[in-house]
Amino acid sequence: MTDTLTSLGLCLGASTISICRVEAARREIGGRPIILGHALYPHEGNPKATLVRALNSLEIKDFDRITATGRKFRHFVNLTSIPEPEAVEHAYPYVKPDGGGCTAVVSAGGETFMVYALDHRGRIANVITGNKCASGTGEFFLQQLRRLDVSLEEAARFATVAEPYHVSGRCSVFCKSDCTHATNKGIPKSRVTAGLCQMM
């Protein structure tokens, strides 16, 4: 037996299969694990084939543990699975910013938008869900980033440094139109992206 424990986390989402490889010391209780790698696989309506492809890209025997989460598809695999709120609570202590905490965690999935409001211990105190409009979903957000030719990493950076250009949040059609009109008027895509992030 090695001194490290290697785990694979799977998030079987409505539009994407996400995988994360994590390593932690076996004897260090409460230690911060190291993320060895992660990947996203859009499944375009075929989660089974996409999951098989993702797993075939890995050496499964190298993992000590495998766990899945996901609102619908986690029940379709013969693996240990946990609901997303439980996964959020388990992960939060390891990913929270050093020297501080967050008041909420956002889950912007392909079909839903949820905010997990956290208490002072980092436990979920309330769950707030968005309306049924596509403008609040992660898939809509990613589509707009692709239209702007902006990566998720660039969007995160623009959200912290650029002055947000206001875009509508009440309807995906209005939001998309606002983004298009702004770029056509020459508004820098950093500002449009920051506005899109603020809208989310």
Q: What is the spatial distance between Cα 88 and Cα 79, in angstroms, rounded to a whole number?
A: 18
Predicted local confidence at residue 61, as pLDDT: 92
Domain that holds residue 124: 85-130
Contact between 139 and 152 under an 8 Å Cβ cutoff? The reply is: no
The residue type of 119 is D
Predicted local confidence at residue 29, as pLDDT: 60
**153 pLDDT higher than 90:** no
| Burial tier of 29 (Cβ tally within 10 Å: 0-12, 13-18, 19+) | exposed
Instruction: Let me know whether 5 and 44 are in one domain.
Output: yes
Across the range 159-173, mean pLDDT stands at 86
pTM reported for the whole predicted model: 0.68
Measure CA of the first residue to CA of the last residue in the chain; give whole Å: 45
Instruction: Let me know whether 5 and 68 are in one domain.
Output: yes
Q: What is the spatial distance between Cα 125 and Cα 170, in angstroms, rounded to a whole number?
A: 26
Instruction: Let me know whether 91 and 165 are in one domain.
Output: no
Instruction: Let me know whether 3 and 77 are in one domain.
Output: yes
Instruction: Let me know whether 73 and 146 are in one domain.
Output: no
Instruction: Let me know whether 78 and 116 are in one domain.
Output: no
- 119: alpha, beta or left, given left = phi > 0 and alpha = psi -120 to 50? beta
Q: Of 49, 82, 115, which closes a domain? A: 82
Instruction: Let me know whether 29 and 61 are in one domain.
Output: yes
DSSP state of 76: G
Q: Of 130, 146, 165, which closes a domain? A: 130
Kindly indicate the confidence band of residue 184, based on its pLDDT and cuts at 50, 70 and 90. very high
Instruction: Let me know whether 125 and 139 are in one domain.
Output: no
Q: Between residues 155 and 94, which one has the greater pLDDT?
A: 155
Instruction: Let me know whether 114 and 157 are in one domain.
Output: no
Across the range 173-191, mean pLDDT stands at 91
Instruction: Let me know whether 77 and 90 are in one domain.
Output: no
**77 pLDDT higher than 90:** no
Predicted local confidence at residue 133, as pLDDT: 63
Strands (DSSP E) found in the chain = 4-12, 16-25, 34-42, 65-69, 80-81, 104-108, 113-118, 124-129
Q: What does the mean pLDDT of the chain come to?
A: 85
Across the range 41-66, mean pLDDT stands at 90
**57 pLDDT higher than 70:** yes
Across the range 24-43, mean pLDDT stands at 79
Instruction: Let me know whether 69 and 19 are in one domain.
Output: yes
Domain count, the chain: 3
CATH number reported for the structural domain that contains residue 57 in this entry? 3.30.420.40
